[in-house]
Amino acid sequence: MNIADILLKTLIDLSYFIGIIVIAGLILGFLRNTSMANYQRKLGKKAIYITGIVGVPIHELSHLIIALLFGHKIKEVKFFQVNDENRTLGYVNHSYNPRNIYHQIGNFFIGVAPIICGSLLIILLLKIFVPVSLENTNELLSTDGILEFLKSIFSFNNFRRPEFYLFLYLVFNICSHISLSPADIKGASIGVIFIFAILLILNIINLDLFSNINILKYNLLLTKVLIVSILFSSINLLISFILSKI
């Protein structure tokens, strides 16, 4: 292959590897920002704290866990704070060796950690509170499957269970803080550069990484995980819109 073909294949490989995460991140960012704007229009600044008391610690904990997995040194952690002069609700201050490729790749996964970990946590909460909703997850990629999924969650019987309201509170708090901050995006973009560089080197030496990985199954699994948080974030947006009009 010539250099143009190698670069094109590398870009395609990169999109296969992280494309779903990036697209989901953009969608979740729009849903979250619009929802919070609606809540703040109705409730004011306290809307951030009402949702943040649960959502922000989960957001920051996801950064912390993935940072540790990729060997980063943790300097300071704030899971939740109020009245910060920079209006920062929480943060994970970490450092790494810039010469360590594993650390550099980790920057991407640390940056997008709230999306992946938040989605997995919502699935765990479904398993605990509404296990029947996860019986047909293979159908989540179809319209009928999504409707059945939502019907199994928002059934009349579930609304009669007190613990279901705890489930809703936790899920909508997670969704309200699942999107990425500018600092998250900046950190993740550093990791993308190194992922691209590694894929480029592999393509130059004609070693196809995805020949040993079922990339279709990987993307289908990732989509099913992320679509759960997108659905709940969409419902959160709808609730916030209705509330802002009352």
pLDDT of residue 212: 56
Q: For residue 103, what pLDDT is reported?
A: 95
Amino acid at 147: L
Contacts of the segment 232-237: beta carbons below 8 A, 24+ positions apart: 232/122, 232/171, 232/172, 232/174, 232/175, 233/27, 233/28, 233/31, 233/32, 233/35, 233/175, 233/178, 234/31, 235/172, 236/31, 236/35, 236/172, 236/175, 236/176, 237/31, 237/34, 237/35, 237/38
Q: What is the mean pLDDT of each run of 10 residues along the chain (246 residues)?
A: 84 88 90 89 82 91 95 93 76 92 94 93 93 79 84 91 94 89 87 91 77 71 88 92 87
State the pLDDT at residue 183: 83
> Could you tell me how far CA 7 lies from the centroid of its own chain?
28
pLDDT of res. 84: 65
Identify whether the C-beta of residue 104 lies closer than 8 Å to the C-beta of residue 98: yes
**pLDDT given for residue 82 in this prediction:** 79
pLDDT of residue 210: 63
Query: How far is it, in rounded angstroms, from Cα 127 to Cα 134?
Result: 7
Closest listed residue to residue 18, CA positions, set 230, 184, 223 = 223
For residue 113, the model assigns a pLDDT of 94
Q: Cα–Cα distance between 116 and 70 in angstroms, integer?
A: 15
Q: Are 115 and 18 in contact (CB under 8 A)?
A: no
Which pTM does this prediction carry?
0.87
Q: How far is CA 224 from CA 94, 180, 221, in A?
A: 31, 20, 5
